[in-house]
């Protein structure tokens, strides 16, 4: 057998497991949506809460309070407690592992993104840097089928809270790729009032970051060519105007 014909079974197993996890998540969320409709929930927030809690399982008798306690993942966060000997090493190892996950956020599937986004990236700045690190094309590839219920709003809030002028082009690219994902219009319609306001605020900031442009009469021939070249300022403004329509921002 040729060297290039060798099958990487570990990679196939990992990909299959990720696909099964994503499929199970989809089924859980879809079942939760049906339950919420049947229960005739009175508000969107209640509907959203039911769906976001779809992965939770009821406690068993062995899970009652007072049972065996496990070591905290961060010994520095437990005031008044010291990590000694092997237990201290365990705390340090776990903290190091979590730090590595945060700094090496490279999910290969949407299921891996969901897991790490909610489990390891808790603060806004961490989430914002993770989005910039992945970039628009990678995010568009991960969520080409569907961003997933509730996640689009979280992404928009994160971008709105932490966008900086230096990141304007990168954020426009992220928004453009998210708008190309499956069921984008449906996910957009399910944004909460707070998320919708964050979306509007994000676009207001992006518009404010736009540097004032001179008229063509005030530009040299070289400057005019730079303005009109692909990826130049005019292209950014065209993209921004397109995104305003896609995200239904008035």
Check residue 15 and give its pLDDT.
74
Please give the average per-residue pLDDT across 96-103, as a whole number: 45
HEC readout, the chain: CCHHHCCCHHHHHHHHHHHHHHHHHHHHHHHHHHHHHHCCCCCHHHHHHHHHCCCCCCCCHHHCCCCCCCCCCCHHHCCCCCCCHHHHHHHHHHHHHHHHHHHCCCCCCHHHHHHHHHHCCCCHHHHHHHHHHHHHHHHHHHCCCCCCCCHHHHHHHHHHHHCCHHHHHHHHHHHHHHCCCCCHHHHHHCCCHHHHHHHHHHHHHHHHCCCCCCCHHHCCHHHHHHHHCCCCHHHHHHHHHHHHHHCCCC
Across the range 102-117, mean pLDDT stands at 81
Residue 143: the pLDDT is 94
**% pLDDT > 90, the chain:** 38
Lowest mean pLDDT, pick from 47-51, 84-88, 120-124, 145-149: 84-88
């Amino acid at each position: 057998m040729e060297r290039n014909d060798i099958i990487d079974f570990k990679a196939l197993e990992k990909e299959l497991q990720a696909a099964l996890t994503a499929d199970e998540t989809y089924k859980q969320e879809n079942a939760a949506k049906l339950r919420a409709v049947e229960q005739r929930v009175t508000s969107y927030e209640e509907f959203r809460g039911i769906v976001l809690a779809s992965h939770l399982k009821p406690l068993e008798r062995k899970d009652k309070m007072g049972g065996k306690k496990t070591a905290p993942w961060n010994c520095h966060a437990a005031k008044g407690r010291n990590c000694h000997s092997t237990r201290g090493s365990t705390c340090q190892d776990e903290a190091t592992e979590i730090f590595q996950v945060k700094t090496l956020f490279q999910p290969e599937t949407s299921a891996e993104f969901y897991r790490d986004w909610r489990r390891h990236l808790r603060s806004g700045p961490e989430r914002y840097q993770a989005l910039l690190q992945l970039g628009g094309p990678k995010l568009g590839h991960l969520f080409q089928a569907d961003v997933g219920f509730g996640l689009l709003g979280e992404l928009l809030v994160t971008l709105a809270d932490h966008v900086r002028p230096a990141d304007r082009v990168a954020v426009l690219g992220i928004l453009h790729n998210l708008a190309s994902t499956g069921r984008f219009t449906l996910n957009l319609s399910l944004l909460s009032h707070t998320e919708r306001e964050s979306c509007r605020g994000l676009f207001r900031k992006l518009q404010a970051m736009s540097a004032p442009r001179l008229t063509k009469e005030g530009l040299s021939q070289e400057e005019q060519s730079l303005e009109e070249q692909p990826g130049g300022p005019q292209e950014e403004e065209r993209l921004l105007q397109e995104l305003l329509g896609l995200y239904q921002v008035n």
